[in-house]
Amino acid sequence: MPTTTELTEKYLSKHPSILDCLKNGIVNYSKLSRKIAKELDIEKKTSLEAILIACRRYEAKIKNGKILENKILKILKESELEIKNKIAVTIVDKRKYLWKIIEIENKFQKSADTFYAIEGSKVFTIITTEKHLQDLKTLFGNAIIKTSKNLAMITIKSPKELENTPGVNAFVYSKFREHGINIVEQMSCWTDTIVVISENDIPTVMSFLRF
C-alpha cells in the first residue's frame, strides 16, 4: 500500500500549476494538505500533518527546478521567432508512395520552399505551403488521408546551449497548454523548435512567446 508521502508526491507531480506555486514559495500548505486529503479520499487514513510534511519535502526536491527555469528563460530570451502563414498539413498513406515523397521533396527544395516530411509507422505527415496542395493531390490522389489548412508554422531558433539544457521544449509546450493552444504538429532540428498551429492563434502565441 502506498505511503502518504508517495500518494502526495504522485498527486503533486500531476498538477503543474501547484508545482509552479511550490517552486515560487507561494503555497498555503494547510489548504493544500486539505485539498489533497479530500481529493485522494485519504482523510481517514492519514493525518493532515503527514501530508503537509510530504508537501514541504517535495518542495525542497524541486527547488533546483527554479534554478533550471532561469537557465531556460535565458535561452528563450536569446532565441528568435520565425512565423510562416498559409501552411498546410497533409497525411499520406506511405505504403505505396515512398518514392513519391522523395520526388516531391526534391521538387520543393529546388524552389527553396517550405517542406517537411515526418515518417510514421503507416503514414507520412507532409508540412508545406497551401499553394502546393494541388501538387500533392495530383501526386498522391486517394492515398491522402487528411489535409488541414489555414495553419501557421512557428520556428523558435535558439542558441546552441539548448541541446545541453533539459526542459526547454517542455517549458515552451507548457505555455501552449496553459493558453489553450492546440499544437497540430511539432518537431525539432538541433536548435530549431518547430510547431504548427491554427493561424487564428498567432496573436495569442506571440503574446506568451515574448520572453
DSSP state of 164: G
Read off the pLDDT band of 60 (50, 70, 90).
confident
Angle at 107 between CA 142 and CA 151, to 5 degrees: 65
56, 67, 69, 63: which is closest to 27 by C-alpha? Answer: 56
* The total number of structural domains that make up the chain: 2
Full domain range(s) for residue 179: 80-208
Give tens-digit pLDDT for 88-147.
Answer: 999 999 877 766 777 777 777 677 788 999 989 999 999 999 999 998 999 889 999 999
Instruction: Write down which residue in 77, 105, 124 finishes a domain.
Output: 77
Of 64-73, 183-192, 202-211, the one with minimum mean pLDDT is: 64-73
Q: In what helix (H) or strand (E) does residue 25 lie, and over which residues does it extend?
A: none
Asked if residue 63 and residue 101 are part of one domain, the reply reads no
Burial class (CB in 10 A: 0-12, 13-18, 19+), 28: exposed
pLDDT at 67: 66
Instruction: Write down which residue in 23, 42, 77 finishes a domain.
Output: 77
Phi/psi of residue 26, each to 5°?
-125, 45
**Residue by residue, what is the 3-state secondary structure of 172-210?**
HHHHHHHCCCCCCEEEEECCEEEEEEEHHHHHHHHHHCC
CA distance 148 to 87: 9
Give tens-digit pLDDT for 15-32.
Answer: 988 988 888 889 999 999
Asked if residue 144 and residue 68 are part of one domain, the reply reads no
